[in-house]
Amino acid sequence: MVASLPSSTLTPRAPFDARPILRYYGRSPLEPLDIVVDGGWRRAVRLGEQKVLFEAAAGGTADEPSVSVRLLAVEPPPPTPPPCAGEGSKPLALAADAVSRWWRLDQDPADLGEIADRDPILGALLARLHGARSPLMPSPFECLVWAILGQQITVAFAYKMKRALVERYGESITHEGRPYWLFPEAARLAEADPLELRELQFSRQKSDYVRSLAALVAEDRIDWGELAEMPSEAAIKVLTRLRGVGRWTAEYVLMRGLGHQDVIPAADVGLQSAIGRAYGLGRKATEPEVRALAEQWVPRRSHAAFAWWWSLSAERGLSVPPP
DNA sequence: ATCCAGGCTCCTG
DNA sequence: CAGGAGCATGGA
């Protein structure tokens, strides 16, 4: 094994801190796709014709932060001996570009300062998250399915279903004898057997939603690019016409799958509970209360939502027992 | 046991 | 249009 696969270095805008993202990825021991190893993030995705496993890790200094991206595995491997340094590796360039987008390295966290001034309670949380980004999921489709899975049930159970789904319908790529899973292709999920999904503990509803949405995506009937550019409210209207997609799911997909920066899934019970506690209500906040508070967080309501979610996993602490 | 989790659809009055 | 049942499972 030669440890000299090519790597690429990205330069986030300062301030940047990768730890909140890594902690978010690592919050469930059942998470099958986002693997945190030694402070790095490993993830397998399809880039063009190839399956690629990469690792992203933060480095540099507070003033000049950096993120390095390196490839750990590519399948099928490049035809000839790997190109000499000059040619560079196309998969590496694609992976680095993707990490930059998913980790929102070009975002300027400084403009959160005004929001912190307007709302000191959120401000205290943002201070703990200095330099944090709210990461995107690698594909809107994956995000959509994840949102469907998360409907109504506990996050822990949603992870269980996700893992089962990925290991049943996903492909994998091997590195050092261990498989790294890719999220299943839409075409594969579209043809999944409902009985099989039922075995994976999907309700009949969820099975129907996932299969029919996967079929739409496989047929390229959802224009993600257009949805990403559209005003949020318009995009929500489009998405909620799809069976299985209510307002909460649409909002989740907009913020975590498409990069809309000013969306608040105010019906989210996790959000309601975090906010109820932080603002001393002695109960969960109601949806209207969350929407009203969130007026102060314009135009970065998505980041605020991520911050509150992060606060939920942070308060549970790192209570995962060692393997 | 009962209630509720990162909701949504469908049915009723 | 508001309100409620049903869905699957598991932890409090």
Q: pLDDT tens digit string along A24-72?
A: 999 999 999 999 999 999 999 999 999 999 999 999 999 999 999 999 9
Q: Is residue A143's pLDDT more than 80?
A: yes
A34 beta carbon to strand B: under 7 Å: no
A157 lies in the same domain as A272: yes
Determine whether A106 is an active site residue.
no
Determine contact, residues A126/A307, Cβ cutoff 8 Å: yes
For residue A6, pLDDT beyond 90: no
* Residue A86 shares a structural domain with residue A167: no
pLDDT for position A318: 44
In a domain, A124, yes or no: no
pTM for the structure as a whole: 0.94
Q: Does residue A238 share a domain with residue A145? A: yes
A84 falls in which pLDDT band (50, 70, 90)?
A: low
* CA distance readout (Å), A113 to A137, A143, A232, A309: 25, 29, 23, 20
**Enclosing domain of residue A35:** 7-107
Is position A197 within any domain?
A: yes
- Per residue in A170-187, pLDDT (tens digit) is 999 999 999 999 999 999
User: Which segment of A78-87, A253-262, A300-309 scores lowest on mean pLDDT?
Assistant: A78-87
Nucleotide nearest to A151 (CA to C1'): B7
The answer on pLDDT for A94 being more than 80 is: yes
Q: Is residue A130 part of a domain?
A: no
Residue at which a domain ends, from A89, A107, A125? A107
Among A76-90, A157-171, A206-220, A283-297, the range scoring the smallest mean pLDDT is A76-90
Question: What confidence tier does A213 reach under pLDDT thresholds 50, 70, 90?
Answer: very high
What is the CA A153 to chain-centroid distance, rounded?
19
As a whole number of angstroms, the distance between CA A226 and CA A308 comes to: 28
Q: For residue A200, what is the domain's CATH number?
A: 1.10.340.30
A85 has a pLDDT exceeding 60? no
Task: Give me the pLDDT at residue A259, please.
Answer: 98
Yes or no: say if A26 and A36 are a contact pair by the CB < 8 Å rule. Answer: yes
In a domain? residue A121: no
pLDDT at residue A317, rounded to an integer? 56
3-state helix vs strand vs coil in chain A, percent to 5: 45, 15, 40
CA angle A264, A214, A104 (to 5 degrees): 40
Q: What is the rounded average pLDDT of the residues A260-267?
A: 98
The model's confidence at residue A81, banded by pLDDT at 50, 70 and 90, is: low
User: Cβ of residue A267 near strand B, that is under 7 Å?
Assistant: yes
pLDDT of residue A322: 33
- How far is the CA of A150 from the CAs of A158, A170, A189, A277, in angstroms? 5, 19, 17, 22
Q: Which two tokens stand for residue A312?
A: 């939920």
pLDDT for A92: 96
Instruction: Provide the pLDDT for residue A86.
Output: 47
Residues with CB under 7 A from strand C: A 152-154, 156-157, 160, 201-207
Q: Is the CB of residue A275 less than 8 Å from the CB of residue A177?
A: no
Say which nucleotide is closest to residue A153, CA to C1' distance: B5
CA distance A141 to A111: 30
- Which residues are bridge partners to A66 per DSSP? A59
Average pLDDT, chain A: 93
Query: What is the tally of structural domains in chain A?
Result: 2
- Residue A319 has what pLDDT? 42
